[in-house]
Amino acid sequence: MNKTKKPADRLIFHVDVNSAFLSWESARRMKEGLPDLRDIPACIGGDPAKRTGIVVAKSIPAKKCGVQTGEPVAMALRKCPNMVIVPSDFDLYVKCSRAFKKICASYTPVMESFSIDEVFLDMTGTSLLYPDPIAAAHEIKDRISDELGFTVNVGISTNKLLAKMASDFEKPNKVHTLFPEEIPAKMWPLPVRELLFLGKASEKKLTEAGIRTIGDLAHAWETDIQTLIGNKNGHQLYQYARGIDDSPVKAQPDEAKGFSAETTFNEDIVSIEQVDPILLAQCDIVAARMRRKKKKCTSVSITFRTLDFRNRSHQTKLPNATDITDEIYRCAKQLFRESWKGEPLRLIGVSVTGLTEDDFEQLSLFEDPEKKEKSRKLDAALDAIRQKYGNDKVTRASILNGAQGIARKAKAQMKNDAEKLKNNLQRRQRRKTLPSLKIKQNNDNIRKNENTTIDIFLKIRYNNRKEAHWKGGNE
């Protein structure tokens, strides 16, 4: 009978590519004789002219200028005006990701892909092949660098949490350990925000309560932490602060817990007429994904982001699990109308959670079964067409009509604005012209009066001279 190994008996590596997208692009550019982006202020990002463009990865020199991953490229350029911006190349990223994971997988049969640029390796039981774990980590790191041209960090510990924390120590191209006995010296002095999965909201609450380091969190009362940030989250973060994590390295990924779709816009969204077709398109996407996985959702939520980068969300539970686009769309519309106050938006999203394969459905007296069946058949027809010809070959008429309506309304608004501008310019011109006309008229009147006065003066003078002449003649 096999005994389950205790966490202390485990050996886990976390391999993390240093600035993955930037490193992969740099490796390609160096093969082409171009400068290494890692040595200059540079980033992988979108078009600075569009606010949808964000910093995806940055070089260390760019980081020193204050550039942060996830911020708009335009904002990053204000911090670092001479920064080089390179567009994303996802085909390259997939190719490099597969290459480095292939090397990692050759060292152990159990590898978990944590993201496109991170893996966990369960090295438990490999002591005969690799008696020195640190030497094995250096071998993996150096092999990736020599064969692929980019660097990684490797963290070593007895669980996934500590291995990942270790790999985030000094970068790049380093190997670090964080075994349980090293926690007080290496982990506890770190700021509490450095703890894995601790977000900004939790950090704010903890620091306000005087908990500023991971060590402060580890030595606090768990009940106090739960009071501050909630029972479930408080328990997990309290355990993490003490280095406790029993989660296994999974060779196969877990099933998705939900599906979501988000859109960031170049122009502000300011009307319901703009929102509805966007919501419908997003609901169509998430519902199609669910049907492909033969799932149904029991919860729908909407999210939107205002111009000051504040996110708001609203969620509801469904009376019955569904995968019908129209039902999800009606729910999303209602949620949006309940939560939106009319402020301009830069992002809108829809997500579905509470996935189930249960086909049980409680019939309602207020539902139209024929209409529901028509919606289900429409979804099935769209799914079949997309599967055969591609996702972009068919679109719901409601989405097209909505987009066309928005375009017509925008065009009419632009025409109306142009007319208003023209009229305003004409009014301003008239205001400038009228005073000059009045001045001219006044000047003409003055000249006319002056001429009349001169004429009268000359006439009087002439008559006086004439009268004097006749008097002199008579005398």
Residues annotated as catalytic are 118
Distance CA 461, CA 456 (A): 8
Distance CA 176, CA 153 (A): 8
Nearest one of 112, 152, 138 to 16, comparing CA atoms? 152
DSSP string of 16-79? EETTHHHHHHHHHHHHTTPPPGGGSSEEEE--TTSTT-BEEEE-HHHHHTT--TTSBHHHHHHH
CB 41 within 8 A of CB 62: yes
The number of angstroms, rounded, from the C-alpha of 80 to the middle of its chain's C-alpha atoms is 21
331: phi then psi, degrees, rounded to nearest 5: -65, -45
Element (H, E) at 398: helix 397-474
**354 Rama class: left (phi>0) / alpha (psi -120 to 50) / beta:** left
Element (H, E) at 203: helix 200-208
CA-based diameter of the chain, in Å?
164
Quote the radius of gyration of the chain (alpha carbons, Å): 37
Nearest one of 178, 247, 246 to 214, comparing CA atoms? 178
Burial class (CB in 10 A: 0-12, 13-18, 19+), 362: exposed
Residue linked to tokens 């142009």? 418
Beta strands, E only, 323-435: 345-353
**Residues constituting the chain:** 475
Establish how many alpha carbons lie within 13 A of residue 406's alpha carbon, considering only the half-sphere containing its beta carbon: 17
What are the CA-CA distances from residue 384 to residues 293, 372, 376, 389, 391 (Å)?
14, 19, 12, 9, 10
Query: Taking the CB of residue 337, how many other CB atoms lie within 10 A of it?
Result: 13
